[in-house]
Amino acid sequence: MKSTLILAVTGLAFLPNILAASAPSCYGSGKAVLTNYWVTKEGTEDMDNDGNTVYLTGPKTVALKDTSGNTIEMVAQTTFDKCNMEGTCLLLSSKMVNLVSNKKFESIDRKSAPYGLGSNDKVLVPFVSIASNDLPKGSTVYMTELDGMKLPNGKTHNGCVRVDDESWSFNGL
């Protein structure tokens, strides 16, 4: 997908045994859904929630607003929808915005947070940061599915991930 800069955050692929033992009532199947997020890029092709191709182009009729109601930038409706869903968005102007609350954004420093910010302004780290609504922020989880995986930088994953974010879209799943 052209909007993907890199795999920014890996979600829980399969519920690790250590977590399954401590929270059996939360996940009856013993598994959680693997999701990932990416930095949406204005002006590119992306997908909607049903897997259909959408284009983040078109008339700039919707204001990306900050928490004070000030317009950060005008964007197309499809761009706004994807920025709101994914949480981090790179605009054609090279500004990067991050979702603060539903439909409210903040401009962020691309040098200090190139993959966006998670909850409580935690800088997201590729292949380390995960989102969870069920675990305390900062918790670490060992995932056997990631341990030993070759990473794009040539290093090998140690299986450890950290809860740096939460999601308004997956409601504890």
Sheet holding 140-142, edge to edge: 129-131, 160-165, 140-142
Q: Are 143 and 16 in contact (CB under 8 A)?
A: yes
Least confident segment among 9-13, 56-60, 73-77, 125-129? 9-13
Q: What is the pLDDT of residues 69-92, one digit of tens each?
A: 999 999 999 999 999 888 899 999
The predicted model scores a pTM of: 0.74
One-letter identity of residue 93: S
Q: What is the pLDDT of residues 96-149, one digit of tens each?
A: 999 998 899 999 999 999 999 988 889 999 899 998 888 899 999 888 889 999
Q: What does the chain come to in residues?
A: 173
